[in-house]
Each structure stands twice: as C-alpha cells, then as structure tokens.
Amino acid sequence: MKRYREFFTDGRLSVLIIAAILVIDQLIKIAVKTNMSLGESIRITDWFYIDFVENKGMAFGMTFINKLFLSVLRLCAISLISWYIYKQVKAGARTRYIVLLSMVVAGAAGNMLDSMFYGLTFSASSPFTVSEWVPFGTGYAGFLTGKVVDMFYFPLIVTTWPEWVPYWGGQEFVFFSPVFNFADSCVSVGFVALLLFCRQELGQISFKKS
C-alpha cells in the first residue's frame, strides 16, 4: 500500500515537473522567436543579455553531430529515461531522485520539441526578419530537423588574455560565453545535482526487468 501511494505521489509530481518545465521553456522560446530577429541582443545588465541564436540542438549550441541523427538519438534517450523514471517511481525511489531525473528528461524533451515542430510551424528566422507562424508543414524545415532556440547569455567576466599567453595572448576572453535556454539549464542542474546528491542511486542503475 505504501508503494502504491508513493507511485501516485511521486508519479504525479514527476508529470507536474515535466509539464511545468516544458510550458515555461516553450513560452520563452516562442516569445523570443516571434519578437526578435536572429542575432538580436537585449541588454538586461552588464552580465546578462537576451541574445537570440539558433543551433542544431546540442546543449549550449554545440553542433558537431548530424541534426537528424541527433534528433533520433535524443528521442531514444528521452524514451529510455522516461521508462527508467516510471520504474523508479514504482520501486519507491527517493522523491529527490525522481525530481532530478524529471528535470533532465524535461529539459531534453523541451529541445526535442523545437527539433520536431519548429521547422514545420515557423518561417525561418534571419538577422533582417522576425519569424512568424505559418500553416503547419510549410515552415523552414522538416520533422526532426528544426533548429533549437537559445537566448540566455551571461558574460560574467569580459577581459583580455595577457600577451604572454600562447596562442590566445591579446584576444578577448569571455566567461561564461555559451548561449543557452531554459531546457539546457534544467538538464545541467538536474545532472549535476544527481552526481552530487544521488550517487547511491546512480551506482545501482540497472535496466533489467523487475
């Protein structure tokens, strides 16, 4: 009976977390995509900008994998982690573990939605035009090949490498330079927190049928 109650408590919590992250992530992305031109930047403070960029879908703008292959790989990973969360909820895993896993899968799913549907429902963004909604299927790309919207830029430190530093000497140095989105941050925070606070569970991971 205890596990039955835990399943509905933690299972509903997992669904709620995933849904909330997806809604927040998509609202931010759609607002940026339909109101800003590609490359446009809005200064919030000296260390925080809304900077509209698009990428093929890897975290923090990395682009060294084929887009379609990346989308299929992400779908497989999302499905596997979702199934694992279901198993962990049934097994009565700690709520903390379920919450952090849900953050990771929700973040991955948030970027996956961009890849799946943005190319079908939006016109292409450019430095000169703002993207618009278009009839479904008439957008800038096909299914699974849409670009992921990024917007958060935190140049916490902007300085110049000393001249004596090999190769980089005299060049600008920016920390933190990647542009990312809300989904990326959920994946990163969830993953790091898992490593810090759920090492016991991670050490016992098994995909065998229970």
Q: Kindly list the catalytic residues.
A: 150, 184
Q: Does residue 118 sit in helix, strand or coil?
A: helix
* Residue 147 contacts residue 139 (beta carbons within 8 Å): no
Q: How far apart are CA 184 and CA 58, in angstroms?
A: 9
What is the DSSP annotation of 10-31?
A: HHHHHHHHHHHHHHHHHHHHHH
- Residues in contact with 75: Cβ distance below 8 Å, sequence separation at least 6, in sequence order: 112
* Residue 150 contacts residue 184 (beta carbons within 8 Å): yes
